[in-house]
């Protein structure tokens, strides 16, 4: 069973930084491939929080305040902040 409809490419992501200790074990420079169908190993809390942004990027949309091909997003755990950069492939 395919995780993506044909022609939809996954997004490339990299953990930019971790301030504190991530309870899901994410580390700086970790690489992931995400899509609206696959968490790619990203923490469920973080994935849930950024899903609307993934949806916009995966289907060719953009926000007026950002780059259309890249977003930098932060984990909802402000005590152990994880920052991720997501790029269209």
**Structural domain total, the chain:** 1
User: Hey, what are 24's tokens?
Assistant: 């899901």
64 lies in which domain range? 11-88
In a domain, 44, yes or no: yes
pLDDT in tens, 19-67: 999 999 999 999 999 999 999 999 999 999 999 999 999 988 888 988 8
Identify whether 2 is part of a domain. Answer: no
As given in the structure block, the two tokens for residue 50 are 């950024």
Residue of 47, 46, 26, 25 whose CA lies nearest to 36? 47
Whether residue 62 is contained in a domain is answered as: yes
pLDDT-derived band at 8, boundaries 50, 70, 90: confident
Q: Taking residues 58-82, report their average pLDDT.
A: 91
pTM for the structure as a whole? 0.87
21 part of a folded domain: yes
């Amino acid at each position: 069973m395919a995780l993506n409809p044909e022609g939809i490419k996954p997004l490339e992501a990299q953990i930019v930084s971790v301030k504190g200790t991530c309870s899901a074990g994410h580390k700086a420079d970790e690489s992931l491939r995400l899509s609206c169908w696959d968490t790619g190993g990203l923490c469920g809390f973080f994935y849930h929080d950024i899903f609307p942004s993934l949806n916009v990027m995966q289907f060719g949309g953009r926000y007026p305040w950002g780059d259309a091909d890249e977003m930098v997003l932060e984990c909802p755990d402000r005590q152990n902040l994880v920052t991720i950069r997501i790029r269209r492939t």
